[in-house]
Structure 1
Amino acid sequence: MMPMMPNDIFTQLNELIIHVTDVELTECLPQWSCQPQIMPFCQIWLVHKGTAIFELNGETFRLGAGHLLFLSKGQKFQAASDSAVPLIFYTVSFTYQTPLRKTDKDYVYRAEGDLFPLNGEVPVHHHQPQVLYLFEQLYGSRSEGNGGRQQYRQKGLLHELLYLAALEIEGGIDQQRNGVERTVEYMHQHYTKNLPLEELSGLAGFSPSYYSRLFKKLKGLSPNAYMTKLRMNRAKELLVYSQNSYYEIAQYLGYKEESYFSRMFKKETGYSPTEYVKMSRTIVVTMRHSFNGDFLALGIRPHAAVMARGAEAFPIHNQNEETPSPILVDSKTSIEDLVRLKPTLILCDEEWAKLHKELSHAAPTVTIPYWDIPWRERLYRIADLVGRRKEAKAWLQDYEQKAEQASQLIKANIGEETILVLRIVGGKLRVYGMDRNIGCTLYQDLKLTPPQNVRAIKWRKTITLEELPNFDANYVLLMGSPHKKDQKMKRKLVESAEWQALTAVKNNQCIHIALYPWIDYSASSHELVIDEAVRLFVPQEAR
């Protein structure tokens, strides 16, 4: 059961009248259990030591030390200890009133008219000591008697506890997303192994039940279904291009039985492995423009390739070779062209596969993640598809050597001076970070120095004009487009006081660059970016 969205919590809590009715500290034997019951009141649980399994309205939670559980009146509830050590937990029982309507003089309240704003499991990551302290104080307040003094103190402590819990939810959105993304990356690296839910949830920092719900909410699939999808995508590649037997492929992907692997494959793709292999593999179409640069690095070309708008000047084929048939991205024509070409292998990313499920039976479709794996790994994946792993390895060795030489040349000229990458897109300013696209090449491969605040940006971040001084740099690389909205923003930018105050602008070191190859995330584009960076930062006589 997921907590309500953070932008509603504080407003709703502020409208309630809340009273503490009881506080308890319970120490249980390892075999302790609480039989099914209907909650007669609202309650907050904090597991202090040990772990416990809770079932709330048919949904199961496994809570360890430091986790909160909010129970509402009328919910079906049961619990049991799940550890060898004694289970110790606090409970705070309370009642509350919600506003029914407002009169001329005051609000009219009713007892527990709406579901309490906090409900279900709330993992505590940032405020565990404070939360435990508040429970200890609430429990200690019982010694103050039953008068107004005790009630007033308990009410204040409970409000502070609710405040911290709401803060955990509010601050936990990025943490939830980051936790799930850590496990997604881990799955991509280890999908051939058995990955228990407990291992993945531990990596994310959540209980198994909470992690499962959160993963499905963010990814649209359960962790198990996501793993199956990864395995089946890899199976497509191995079936089409490897010489391995079905049994060997099943074993490699972590399936003990070939028959089970075959059933899973047909369930996922609509084809049996045999049917899939029988399809011809000669006409390859790429439906992600960045994949074109990977094919180019391997010295081959697809039969047809999607072309991103604005990338017309960016080569997608080897010199002296016939150009692949261009297909414009995101257009009705692209689908018609694809059907007309009658491909026997469609190479796409997850986004295209999701949008064009109806075409998955038109030809064997291999999905290679664009967002979830680094470009080097993707190059090897494509190389394995077309039997070019040796060429991929040789190309990458040359690339690393080229990047190292270029890095030394550039740093000999500009030293540790900082470089900021800005793009005007959709009428807004975007800063590029460390791990993808242009930042991946500049800051990682060439080892050039980013502004301090860029180091915290993994890919990119939209900023306001007022935030621009926070990214001051010795050099600014600026990208834009001829669109009216972007040109209007560019005029506003260069006329602003924030722009004029930048070190790069004062020193006349703002450089306008084209989108391609700088913005593309592929092997060949990164090699071209290295050439462009040397041209920009190294004098002709020093090259």
Structure 2
Amino acid sequence: MHYPSAPATPAVPLRSLSFHLLDANLLSCRPGTVLPEETTETYTLLINKSGKGQLYSDSKRSLFAGQSAFLFIPGSSFQLERKDGLALEYYRIQFAVTFIDSWATPAAYKEALFPGRSELRVYPSSQLIEMAQQLYSGRSDQDGMPSFENNMRFLKLIGFLLEHNLVTDSKTSSTQAVERTIQYMQDHYTDKITVKWLSVKASLPSGQYSAVFKELTGKKPLDYLTELRIKRAKEWLLQSDESLRDIAERVGFADEYYFNRRFRQTTGMSPRQYALAMRRRVRVRDWAGHEVTIPDQPRRIIFYGETIGDLLSLGIQPIGGDLWKQGRPFNAEKVSSLKPDLIIFDKEDEREYEQISRIAPTLTYNSYGPLEERLLTLGEWFGKEREAQQWLSHHAGNAQRMWQQLQPYIRPGETATVFVHHRGRRLFVMGNIGLTSVLYHPDGFSPVRKVQDVLQADRAYKEITEDCLQEYAGDRIFMLLPGSPVSRKAMEQTIASPLWQSLPAVRNGHVYLVDENEWNCGDAYTIERLLRMLPELIQHTS
């Protein structure tokens, strides 16, 4: 993976700034948990130690994984969610910055230290993690030398970050230098390129260059170059009937015999075998970025996810009975026995994907994505582009007619919010999936500003606390009735609370208690059904 070089940043008055460590903590997010949103009062640095997560900030979503470090200025808001099956561990370092002018007058500094970017990169990342661990271990509640020494360690860490991320005309970090050579390789992969030549171009010793390169890409330089050439060769093999010698020369290989050998090592087949196989199949890129070859007209399809109705709406009938039911673990033995020729899997879990893809070609699918995006994706995968467009056009007409029918019952600009208690007693506001995909329509309800932030961040939901209800509640509230007894009891306690009773939607009688399983499914089939159910609900209670 290539990380583009950071753009040049405006000057930061480092000469006039003083940095002071306030606290350093090691925090964790256990499997199945979502951390509450935080608003920073100080500069806050997050450094990933282990695990993967999603980091939401200012309506943006970023991957928080190995090598990740993010800096937030005072007044910023962010929220972390664990991504894989492991606990997410990270360091949170808080500090203050003081600006001292030429008259020695101090003032709090709250501007961006790295304008235009919050994600930081350093090499080696292990050194940054080690520095963070030293700060955490050296914490002291007492004034004196221990506190002073820890602040000195902190200054060393800040200097390390500045050196690698504050771009100037006179100095470029080793990471940025290697990134430029990666871009060069992508643009000039046909050239004769050696590690020695690349290291000279980056002004680094060969050993250091290769180490930085592998940390950035996960590969050795020449292996990365070979992959670039093989990838382009695959395209030529499918687009032309040129000889292997000509294709080898086009992509930078010295001769066709070496090209043939490296191609077979990479793909498991010869170039010509690959071309014949691919012309009978469809090659696509799935949600997680895997390039997957779909068999020609697959018949035995297994869907493992939450939006089976998407496939059914296009006339695609998966096999496997109840394998796709929500919450059921993937049964590899049963799936293998069904001998599928394609599996569709709606999670971004690489470990589980690796297990599943051993059974049959596997596509990851974003069940939480917009309905139009999902159906067009399925249309591309299965040669049903026309059917997908027809279904979407028909659905758009039905939705418009439904909202026109409801116009006498809805005031212009009315807002709506969907809440649910889930995973025990925890409270969530729904984002871009399920019932909200019907409610938020140009002729329907609008989201309140805080929910709009959730939608702009492309989030399916967001965990909130009850004392935030007023910020998220719209003119109309749809409270989903959970199936879990624990969650149902938490919901009943919420709607009996004085805070809930004070909400305008509650006082105006615009609260709808609807079954979660029936109303909060986001698949195409259920969304069409909601268009028939919603008018009756709104007209009956308005």
Q: Report the TM-score, using the length of structure 1 for normalisation.
A: 0.51
Match in the other structure for 1:37: none
Match in the other structure for 2:493: 492
Match in the other structure for 1:247: 238
Instruction: Please state if 1:300 is matched with 2:338.
Output: no
Instruction: Please state if 1:335 is matched with 2:351.
Output: no
Q: C-alpha offsets along residues 479-522 of structure 1, whole Å, 9 cap, x if unaligned? A: 13232321231232022111111122223321111223532232
* Alpha-carbon separation, structure 1, partners of 2:218 and 2:507: 49
Pick aligned residue for 2:440 from 443, 454, 476: 443
Contact 2:473-2:503 at 8 Å conserved across structures: yes
Shift in CA distance, 345/8, structure 1 to aligned 2, threshold 3 Å:
closer
Contact 2:306-2:346 at 8 Å conserved across structures: no
Q: C-alpha offsets along residues 311-367 of structure 1, whole Å, 9 cap, x if unaligned? A: xxxxxxxxxxxxx45454554573222111111111223535641413313222233
Instruction: Please state if 1:470 is matched with 2:471.
Output: yes
- For this pair of structures, how many residues does the alignment match? 347
* Alpha-carbon separation, structure 2, partners of 1:219 and 1:349: 26
Pick aligned residue for 1:283 from 293, 300, 306: 300
**What is the CA-CA distance between 1:9 and the residue it aligns to?**
3.4
Pick aligned residue for 2:158 from 106, 114, 118: 118
Q: C-alpha offsets along residues 143-194 of structure 1, whole Å, 9 cap, x if unaligned? A: xxxxxxxxxxxxxxxxxxxxxxxxxxxxxxxxxxxxxxxxxxxxxxxxxxx9
* Alpha-carbon separation, structure 2, partners of 1:221 and 1:446: 51
Match in the other structure for 2:402: 406
Contact 1:9-1:118 at 8 Å conserved across structures: no
* Alpha-carbon separation, structure 2, partners of 1:58 and 1:486: 45
The 5-angstrom pairing of residues 18-97 of structure 1 reads: none
Q: C-alpha offsets along residues 439-471 of structure 1, whole Å, 9 cap, x if unaligned? A: 222113653123343222213221211111223
Shift in CA distance, 431/99, structure 1 to aligned 2, threshold 3 Å:
closer
Instruction: Please state if 1:384 is matched with 2:387.
Output: no
**What is the CA-CA distance between 1:380 and the residue it aligns to?**
1.8
Contact 1:409-1:538 at 8 Å conserved across structures: no
**What is the CA-CA distance between 1:525 and the residue it aligns to?**
2.3
Matched residue type, 2:378: I
Matched residue type, 1:287: Y
Shift in CA distance, 249/481, structure 1 to aligned 2, threshold 3 Å:
farther
**What is the CA-CA distance between 1:389 and the residue it aligns to?**
1.8
Shift in CA distance, 523/453, structure 1 to aligned 2, threshold 3 Å:
same
Contact 1:411-1:448 at 8 Å conserved across structures: no
Match in the other structure for 1:210: none
Contact 1:477-1:510 at 8 Å conserved across structures: yes
- SS of the residue corresponding to residue 351 of structure 1 reads coil
**What is the CA-CA distance between 1:106 and the residue it aligns to?**
4.2
Instruction: Please state if 1:346 is matched with 2:353.
Output: no
Match in the other structure for 2:361: 364
Instruction: Please state if 1:515 is matched with 2:512.
Output: no
Contact 1:422-1:431 at 8 Å conserved across structures: yes
The 5-angstrom pairing of residues 196-235 of structure 1 reads: none
Matched residue type, 2:428: R
Instruction: Please state if 1:394 is matched with 2:478.
Output: no
**What is the CA-CA distance between 1:436 and the residue it aligns to?**
3.5
* Alpha-carbon separation, structure 1, partners of 2:370 and 2:261: 29
Task: Give every structure 1 segment of 4 or more consecutive aligned residues whose post-TM-superposition deviation is greater than 6 Å.
Answer: 4-7, 55-59, 97-105, 216-222, 255-266, 268-272
Contact 2:306-2:324 at 8 Å conserved across structures: no
Match in the other structure for 2:93: 9
* Alpha-carbon separation, structure 1, partners of 2:342 and 2:403: 39
Match in the other structure for 1:206: none
- SS of the residue corresponding to residue 516 of structure 1 reads helix
- SS of the residue corresponding to residue 299 of structure 1 reads coil
Q: C-alpha offsets along residues 201-259 of structure 1, whole Å, 9 cap, x if unaligned? A: xxxxxxxxxxxxxxx9999999x99xx99x99xxxxxx9xxxx9961499xxxx98799
Matched residue type, 1:118: I
**What is the CA-CA distance between 1:121 and the residue it aligns to?**
4.3
Contact 1:327-1:337 at 8 Å conserved across structures: no
Q: C-alpha offsets along residues 248-293 of structure 1, whole Å, 9 cap, x if unaligned? A: 499xxxx987999998898589997456758673211111231x11
* Alpha-carbon separation, structure 2, partners of 1:282 and 1:405: 36
What's the % identity of the aligned pairs?
19
Match in the other structure for 1:506: 507
Q: Report the TM-score, using the length of structure 2 for normalisation.
A: 0.51
Shift in CA distance, 362/2, structure 1 to aligned 2, threshold 3 Å:
closer
Q: C-alpha offsets along residues 111-158 of structure 1, whole Å, 9 cap, x if unaligned? A: 997362314445999xx9xxx9xxxxxxxxxxxxxxxxxxxxxxxxxx
Matched residue type, 2:153: D
Contact 1:517-1:529 at 8 Å conserved across structures: no
Shift in CA distance, 257/295, structure 1 to aligned 2, threshold 3 Å:
farther
Shift in CA distance, 245/449, structure 1 to aligned 2, threshold 3 Å:
same
Contact 2:122-2:161 at 8 Å conserved across structures: no
The 5-angstrom pairing of residues 452-471 of structure 1 reads: 452-458=449-455, 459=459, 460-471=461-472
Higher relative contact order (CA 8 A, sep 6+): 2
Matched residue type, 1:394: Q
Q: CA RMSD in A?
A: 5.6
Match in the other structure for 2:145: 107
Contact 1:4-1:118 at 8 Å conserved across structures: no
Shift in CA distance, 446/486, structure 1 to aligned 2, threshold 3 Å:
farther
Match in the other structure for 2:427: 429
- SS of the residue corresponding to residue 114 of structure 1 reads helix
Contact 1:353-1:367 at 8 Å conserved across structures: no
Contact 2:300-2:341 at 8 Å conserved across structures: yes
**What is the CA-CA distance between 1:105 and the residue it aligns to?**
9.1
Contact 1:343-1:363 at 8 Å conserved across structures: yes
* Structure with max Cα Rg: 1
Shift in CA distance, 8/450, structure 1 to aligned 2, threshold 3 Å:
closer
Shift in CA distance, 465/360, structure 1 to aligned 2, threshold 3 Å:
same
Shift in CA distance, 472/220, structure 1 to aligned 2, threshold 3 Å:
farther
**What is the CA-CA distance between 1:397 and the residue it aligns to?**
0.8
Shift in CA distance, 285/469, structure 1 to aligned 2, threshold 3 Å:
same
